[in-house]
A and B are shown apart, each in its own frame.
Chain A
């Protein structure tokens, strides 16, 4: 067996195991950690396909940023896993339909060679070819409008997140000494006069 094939099967085995543990793990933090492992291994598989830019960005964006925030939330929420599992059997038919659909789609894509979907086979690139340069060139020439559109959508997302959580400017609690010196005890303190009550 070629070394590359061995690496592929090794990474795939870890990937399948980690993905299974994501859905079967009882502890949500462990599930999130297995998802991190799955992302990391997937980036290794992509690296084998010579997509080094995508592989590194997967680690940088998903492992380095998204999953950290995900872990933050999962750790701070009080998740009761047993209550989450209550509806398992009633949701199973819907879930299995979606799963079957996904399997069908994936087999269409992965069996592309068999169904004659691809126009030509992917050519191997030389090691010196820079993935980043190629992607950058395409992104800023042929696909510049979709790219700009995607960035605007992201910007709207940022603005929306702030708009949803912004609660107005905080009241300033600093005191002004010039007003403070004019304060009199009478303004702040009211002395109540209560007649003594007779004991029963």
Chain B
């Protein structure tokens, strides 16, 4: 086929370093559409929220405003990056990279279908949890390096929020990997394709979201808090709260902005893979394909935008209460319930 001939051509050109070149090519093929997706997610967000608030949204640059994200990007590139006096310059500039890089690195193990995955690692879920937990450094370091007490307090606040919800998220994931008996994302998706309903052609009822409905709810709310999005957007309430990136401008700020949206796409992809059956088709008469995965990711992303336009912001102490006193006990109880369920004769995950 075409891919094979391309592979042979490149092998002829590069010789022994061919595997490296081939992997780099695959990385580019994942990252480039992802960055484009990030750009158009910002556009789509403004459009959707516009429609929900009976406005039109951006419609000036290009047809239907489609060039708007490109124009925004160019604008941010042109702006000056102001580095405050007394700030720790090195750390100040490294912090946005700390926020953005994990959101890209995690895509290495995300499977797109049975065979399409950059690195098929056995412990891929663990890898994702480890890599995404590094993102919190971007927030703390930017708050500290800015040499401003407001940025510092904002950084502390956001970091505490992210760490709290990581615990609830991790416990919800433990339940998922318990029932799928694997840490491999591909195997987790495959394990959702079997069961009583899947045999009858109603695959969407045997995905993890239904038997693990409380965990699905906890996970869905936790990812919103984890990505610092409304209604848990303590990091950037533009007019009300000062966040960790108050001293950042130009491209340095834009990297934080991109990191937020890249993280949104990442956690949406994880939700689709872990709870919504990944690339599996919802009904028996339609084939499994990549299209379903993208449709599910888009649906979860739309959920993000929808609740942003719907709910007022949570108060900070209520956020912490929800995380520590509601979600974590709920997860711990459900962990035991599912454990007992799996050991009982009613086990549906055999």
Contact = CB atoms under 8 A, between A and B. Distances in A.
Given A33-B91, A60-B130, A71 B121 contact: no
A45 interface: no
A75 B142 CA distance: 12
Contacts of B133: 59-60, 63-65
B136 A53 contact: no
A56 interface: yes
B123 A68 contact: no
A130 B140 contact: no
B159 A68 contact: yes
Contact of B140 (A53, A64, A71, A132): A71
B129 interface: yes
A22 interface: no
Contacts, number: 63
A29 interface: yes
Contact of A65 (B127, B163, B183): B163
A59 B130 contact: yes
A68 B126 contact: no
A17 interface: no
Nearest to A133: B122
Contact of A59 (B121, B134, B183): B134
Contacts of B88: 27, 29
Contacts of A33: 91, 141
Interface SS majority for chain A: helix
A27 B166 CA distance: 29
A52 B137 contact: no
Contacts of B121: 52
A75 B137 CA distance: 13
A71 B129 CA distance: 20
B122 A132 contact: yes
B252 interface: no
Interface string A63-106: 11100100110010000000000000000000000000000000
Interface of A: 27, 29-30, 33, 36, 52-53, 56-57, 59-60, 63-65, 68, 71-72, 75, 128, 130-132
Interface of B: 88, 91, 121-123, 126-127, 129-131, 133-134, 136-137, 140-141, 144, 152, 156, 159, 163, 166, 183
16 contacts: A36-B137, A52-B122, A52-B123, A53-B123, A56-B123, A57-B130, A59-B130, A60-B129, A63-B133, A64-B129, A64-B133, A71-B140, A72-B156, A72-B159, A131-B122, A131-B123
Given A59-B133, A68-B137, A75-B152, 7 more contacts: A29-B91, A52-B123, A53-B126, A64-B133, A68-B140, A71-B141, A132-B126
